Amino acid sequence: MQKILWSLVLLLFLFPFSAVEAQLLHQKPEFTHADTLRGSVTPERAWWDVTHYNLEVSFDFNKRSIRGYNRISYTIVSAPGKEMQIDLQQGLDIDSVLYKNERLAFRRSGNVYFVTAPSDPESTKAAVITIYYHGIPRPAIHPPWDGGVIWSKDEKGNPWISIACQGLGASVWYPCKDYQGDEPDSASISIIVPDTLTAIANGRLRRQIQHDDGTATYTWAVVNPINNYNIIPYIGKYTHWQERYPGEKGKLDCDFWVMEYNLEKAKIHFKQVFQMLQCFEHWFGPYPFYEDGYKLVEAPHLGMEHQSAVAYGNRFTNGYAGTDLSETGWGLKWDFIIVHESGHEWFGNNITTKDLADMWIHEGFTNYSETIFVDCEYGTKAGEDYVIGTRKRIRNDRPIEGPYGVNREGSGDMYYKGGNLVHMIRKIINNDSSFRMLLRGMNREFYHQTVTGKQVEAYINTASGIDFSKVFDQYVRTSRVPTLEYKVTGNKLCYRWTNCIPGFDMPLKIHFGGERWIRPGEKWKKLKIKEAAADGFSADRNFYITVKDKS
């Protein structure tokens, strides 16, 4: 039965939209007021900035319920509004909101609470409110894609609990300002569990307290900014070991948490972590969260990029659940979840987009981190084979940039099309040393920041000295694949772009009497060589385009 369920989950990932959903994608999207409340900077969000979350939560495995509080510290960045927006999804209820000893009034609108802002004159610069809540949160059906709280059991029948909530939102399990553009600068989470289990979360363990009632409290903390959806507990019958990686910023604590019965194979399989760190630090810069350490935590789902506590559920096998997503063979030589989800520590966790519409920045660059890893381990040609092999998964159903302000991402093509876009940028720059400096520069320029897609595009243009604006407009904001039309007559080549946006003029490497670069436009251009090319004409395979012979 487990194999059948795992196969169903795999199919859901490989084909993330069912036939019915695929039809819906072609319908005009309709957004509600609730979508706007969730995805935009509302007046009730605009005037305050989160600085710290201090969570305490207990999980009742039998009742599938949770209870706790979130103590939210914030600064006031503009004239205070009369209300502040707190997100908490239905199934969970706020019991009370306290500011000092004062109870604040609140009202509910769907997945949002509007809390009366403190009027205390002392709170003109900063304040702290404590929100007590309880309820039965949405359960995850097919995590991590259909998210929520995961109430599972390990192979020995012990409770195994975690959460996957990217996109769905952290407000599925705790009250917060559930907007990607406002990260807490730091956070702590205290998890109350039966003392037969262990609770793990992001960052470092600050204290563990045994209680007389047969429970224990584990308190973890991060000192760096963190996405709301990355703050995640793992509860189970865990065992642990630690190793240190000699990284660019010194000794990096690497902690590994797995089920007790998986310890020996995990110690062997997780050696790939150090290959990954060596490669990624070289290409992307130092691991962004040395202060919080790096953790790989076995999870009751396939995997997610939870900052400093990466969720791992790939069953200690190479590939993606034993599958090569590129169908080239290279994807079976390493563990997809270790590499991809750890790549998000740089792209997604260090550099975070303000709006879900720009999620292609997270997923496109992290998809390309897989190619970088193959490149590191097996050479440039193998990396090219890998990224080109993933193109067959691109559907071009809609743009990879989503609509802004409604908490909606673009097409799932943000992975494979996004990765191929980054690959083309690398090839156009045509200097791997410069491309590497660009990637490292991005992680330095936007270190621990939330950004817009436009900011990232502008940085790439400036750092590379090449204007990629039309390339971004074509590949990010349309679903059209540009077509190179060409004619060959003896020693003369005529060429142009079609199926493209106005002004599209992406440079292209070709083979015509030798290797050379051309810059097609929308009008026919000509290239003459001394004599007819013996091997004819071809466009370089590293460019995601279609080619038509119009001779």
Q: Is the pLDDT of residue 9 over 60?
A: no
The per-residue pLDDT for 335 is 98
CATH for the stretch 237-479: 1.10.390.10
Buried b vs exposed e over 196-208: b needs ≥16 C-beta within 10 Å? ebbbbbbbbbeee
Residue in this structure with the two tokens 């994608």, named with its chain if needed: 25
Output phi, psi for 55, to 5 deg.
-95, 140
Q: Is the pLDDT of residue 2 over 50?
A: no
Q: Is the pLDDT of residue 405 over 80?
A: yes
Given pLDDT bands bounded at 50, 70 and 90, which one contains residue 32?
A: very high
Buried b vs exposed e over 514-543: b needs ≥16 C-beta within 10 Å? eeeebebeeeeeebeeeeebeeebebeebb
Output phi, psi for 125, to 5 deg.
-115, -40
Which tokens belong to 256?
Answer: 């590994």
The per-residue pLDDT for 199 is 98
Q: Is the pTM of this model over 0.85?
A: yes
Check for a shared fold between 31-236 and 237-479: no
The per-residue pLDDT for 203 is 98
The per-residue pLDDT for 297 is 98
Residues 82-105: tens digit of each pLDDT: 999 999 999 999 999 999 989 999
Residues 327-386: tens digit of each pLDDT: 999 999 999 999 999 999 999 999 999 999 999 999 999 999 999 999 999 999 999 999
User: Is the CB of residue 314 less than 8 Å from the CB of residue 272?
Assistant: no
| Fold type of domain 483-549 | Immunoglobulin-like (2.60.40)
Q: Is the pLDDT of residue 14 over 80?
A: no
Taking residues 457-477, what's their average pLDDT? Answer: 98
The per-residue pLDDT for 28 is 58
Taking residues 23-49, what's their average pLDDT? Answer: 83
Domain boundaries, the chain: 31-236, 237-479, 483-549
Mean pLDDT, rounded, of the chain: 94
Given pLDDT bands bounded at 50, 70 and 90, which one contains residue 123?
A: low
Given pLDDT bands bounded at 50, 70 and 90, which one contains residue 279?
A: very high
Given pLDDT bands bounded at 50, 70 and 90, which one contains residue 414?
A: very high
Separation between Cα atoms, residue 78 and residue 378, nearest integer Å: 53
Q: Is the pLDDT of residue 8 over 60?
A: no
Separation between Cα atoms, residue 330 and residue 342, nearest integer Å: 18
Separation between Cα atoms, residue 399 and residue 414, nearest integer Å: 8
Report residue 285 CA to chain centroid gap.
18
Q: Is the pLDDT of residue 4 over 80?
A: no
For residue 476, the number of C-alpha atoms closer than 13 Å in the C-beta half-sphere is 23
Q: Is the pLDDT of residue 22 over 60?
A: no
Taking residues 44-56, what's their average pLDDT? Answer: 98
Nearest to 192 by CA among 98, 307, 69, 300: 69
Which tokens belong to 459?
Answer: 């940085």
**What is the chain's Cα-based Rg?**
25
| Dihedral (CA of 282, 288, 291, 296) sign | negative
Which tokens belong to 502?
Answer: 């106005």
Given pLDDT bands bounded at 50, 70 and 90, which one contains residue 122?
A: low
Separation between Cα atoms, residue 309 and residue 315, nearest integer Å: 17
Separation between Cα atoms, residue 533 and residue 141, nearest integer Å: 58
Separation between Cα atoms, residue 244 and residue 255, nearest integer Å: 8
Q: Bridge partners of 76?
A: 48
Separation between Cα atoms, residue 15 and residue 220, nearest integer Å: 36
Q: Is the pLDDT of residue 19 over 70?
A: no
* Residue count (the chain): 551
The per-residue pLDDT for 433 is 98
User: Is the CB of residue 485 less than 8 Å from the CB of residue 477?
Assistant: no
CATH for the stretch 31-236: 2.60.40.1730
User: Is the CB of residue 211 less than 8 Å from the CB of residue 195?
Assistant: yes
User: Is the CB of residue 203 less than 8 Å from the CB of residue 225?
Assistant: no
Using CA atoms, how far residue 500 sits from 400, 480, 482, in Å, is: 16, 7, 5
Q: Is the pLDDT of residue 43 over 50?
A: yes
Which tokens belong to 156?
Answer: 């020995």
Separation between Cα atoms, residue 308 and residue 296, nearest integer Å: 8
The per-residue pLDDT for 30 is 86
